[in-house]
Amino acid sequence: MTNSTKAFLHGLNKDQSKAVDHHEGPLLVVAGAGSGKTRALTHRIAHLITEYNADPTEILAVTFTNKAAREMKDRLEILLTKKLAEHELGQPLSTLNLAQQGELRSRIYRDITKDLWIGTFHAIFARLLRFDIEKYVDKEGLQWTNHFSIYDESDAQSLIKEIVTKDLQLDPKRFEPKKIRWAISNAKNQGILPDQLEAKAEGKRGKLVAETYKIYRKALAANNALDFDDLLLLPVQLLKQSKETREYWHNRFKHLLVDEYQDTNWTQYELIKLLVTNGQEPSEYNKWQGRSVFVVGDADQSIYSFRAADFRILMGFQKDFYSTKNTSLKSNVIKLEENYRSTSNILEAANSLISNNKERIEKVLKATRNQGDLIKLTQCDDEIAEAEAVVHSLRIIDAGDSNFKWGDIAILYRTNAQSRVIEESLVRWNIPYIVVGGLRFYDRREIKDILAYLKLLINPSDSISLLRVLNVPKRGIGKTTVQKFTDAASQLGLPLWEVITDPEAIRSLGGRSAKGLLEFREIIQSLQSEIQS
Peptide bond into 473 cis (omega under 30): yes
Number of domains in the chain: 5
**Same domain, residue pair 286 and 332:** yes
d(CA 238, CA 483): 36
Residue 132 resides in a domain: no
CA 274, 277, 278, 284 torsion-angle sign: negative
Predicted local distance difference test score (pLDDT) of residue 328 = 62
Predicted local distance difference test score (pLDDT) of residue 531 = 84
SS3 (DSSP) at 31: strand
> How many Cα atoms are found within 13 Å in the side-chain-facing hemisphere of 107?
14
One-letter identity of residue 147: H
List, as own/partner pairs, every contact residues 197-206 make where C-beta atoms lie below 8 angstroms and the sequence separation is at least 24, other chains included.
205/175
d(CA 136, CA 245): 10
**Same domain, residue pair 181 and 269:** no
Give 149's strand partners. 225
Residue 230 resides in a domain: no
d(CA 207, CA 200): 9
Residue 76 resides in a domain: no
**All residues at 6 or more sequence positions from 121 whose CB lies less than 8 Å from its CB, including other chains:** 62, 231, 232, 264, 268, 271
**Same domain, residue pair 291 and 363:** no
**Same domain, residue pair 316 and 358:** no
Q: For the CA atoms of the chain, what is the radius of gyration?
A: 27
Nearest to 501 by CA among 524, 528, 480: 524
Predicted local distance difference test score (pLDDT) of residue 440 = 60
d(CA 266, CA 189): 8
**Same domain, residue pair 477 and 513:** yes
The enclosing domain of 39 has a CATH number of 3.40.50.300
d(CA 323, CA 375): 46
Predicted local distance difference test score (pLDDT) of residue 355 = 86
SS3 (DSSP) at 147: coil
**Same domain, residue pair 345 and 323:** no
d(CA 225, CA 454): 14
d(CA 141, CA 218): 10
Residue 412 resides in a domain: yes
- Cβ proximity of 217 and 255 under 8 Å: no
Predicted local distance difference test score (pLDDT) of residue 459 = 92
Of the candidates 373, 397, 419, which is a domain's last residue? 373
> What DSSP line would sit under 326-391, residue for residue?
-GGG--EEEEE-EESSS-HHHHHHHHHHHTT-SS------EESS---SPP-----SSHHHHHHHHH
- Cβ proximity of 36 and 341 under 8 Å: no
**Same domain, residue pair 345 and 332:** no
Residue 158 resides in a domain: yes
Give 256's strand partners. 60, 293
d(CA 89, CA 423): 55
**Same domain, residue pair 324 and 274:** yes
Domain extent, residue 452, equals 445-532
Residue 57 resides in a domain: yes
- Cβ proximity of 336 and 364 under 8 Å: no
d(CA 484, CA 487): 5
The enclosing domain of 516 has a CATH number of 1.10.486.10
**Same domain, residue pair 500 and 457:** yes
pTM of the model: 0.82
Predicted local distance difference test score (pLDDT) of residue 331 = 64
Residue 110 resides in a domain: no
Residue 129 resides in a domain: no
The alpha-helical segments, DSSP class H, found in 361-502 are 383-400, 419-428, 445-458, 463-469, 479-492, 496-500
SS3 (DSSP) at 281: coil
Nearest to 213 by CA among 200, 226, 198: 198
**Same domain, residue pair 246 and 325:** yes
Instruction: Based on DSSP, count helices (H) and strands (E) in the chain, helices before strands.
Output: 23, 10
**All residues at 6 or more sequence positions from 125 whose CB lies less than 8 Å from its CB, including other chains:** 231, 232, 235, 271
Predicted local distance difference test score (pLDDT) of residue 438 = 61
Q: What does the pLDDT profile of the chain (533 residues) look like in tens digits?
A: 554 568 899 999 999 999 999 999 999 999 988 999 999 999 999 999 999 999 999 999 999 999 999 999 999 999 999 999 999 999 999 999 999 999 999 999 999 999 999 999 999 999 999 999 999 999 999 999 999 999 999 899 999 999 999 899 998 888 899 999 999 999 998 889 999 999 998 888 899 999 999 999 999 999 999 999 999 999 999 999 999 999 999 999 999 999 999 999 999 999 999 999 999 999 889 899 999 999 999 988 888 887 778 899 999 998 898 766 666 666 689 999 998 999 999 989 988 888 888 888 888 888 888 988 898 889 999 999 999 999 999 999 888 877 888 988 999 888 777 888 999 999 999 999 888 876 566 677 888 899 999 999 999 999 999 999 998 999 898 888 888 998 898 888 888 999 988 888 888 888 888 899 999 989 998 998 888 76
- Cβ proximity of 256 and 296 under 8 Å: no
**Same domain, residue pair 242 and 332:** yes
Of the candidates 196, 223, 250, which is a domain's last residue? 223
**Same domain, residue pair 365 and 396:** no
Predicted local distance difference test score (pLDDT) of residue 326 = 64
The enclosing domain of 175 has a CATH number of 1.10.10.160
